[in-house]
Amino acid sequence: METSQPQQQSKEDWEIEFDRLEHHIKRALKHQDMYNLTDIKENIRQGRLHIWGGKDSVIITHFIEYPRYKALNMLIGAGDYNELEKMFSSVELFAKQFGCKKIFLGGRKGWLRKIKHHGFEKLYFIEKEL
């Protein structure tokens, strides 16, 4: 199922989608330490994150404002990969409609192999635990 915008029409709609796709969100959160499930839900509630629900997949996005441009970050992409890939065009259109110059997607190495044909390139991110 391809959507033209994230599911945020009303609290009930996004909460229904969140509950239905929570198992995918939980699985994706195991691969990072920046957010927990409560953080994701509260940020969607407050409009800082967007939830995109497919039949068996979910994308969580948010805007990043830099001094020179605006970007859309795909924070989570989980579930059926073929369905996620079909959702990318809607996410891209949404980003363009809101004036974004770039889309970022963080993830494991295998993501680049699967989405390179969509124009994504490797960008190195280095961290140090303090």
39-72: per-residue pLDDT in tens? 999 999 999 999 999 999 999 999 999 999 999 9
pLDDT of residue 11: 56
Above 70 in pLDDT, residue 128?
no
- pLDDT confidence tier of residue 2, bands split at 50, 70 and 90: very low
Q: Give the chain's domains with CATH numbers.
A: 11-118 (3.40.630.30)
CB 26 within 8 A of CB 35: no
Measure the CA–CA gap between 24 and 78, rounded to whole angstroms.
6
Looking up tokens 């001094």, which residue turns up?
A: 67
pLDDT tens digits, 71-114: 999 999 999 999 999 999 999 999 999 999 999 887 666 666 66
Instruction: Check whether 1 has a pLDDT greater than 50.
Output: no
Determine the residue type at 94: F
What tokens appear for 126 in the block? 């280095």
- Residue 6 in tokens: 């994230």
Predicted structure pTM score: 0.79
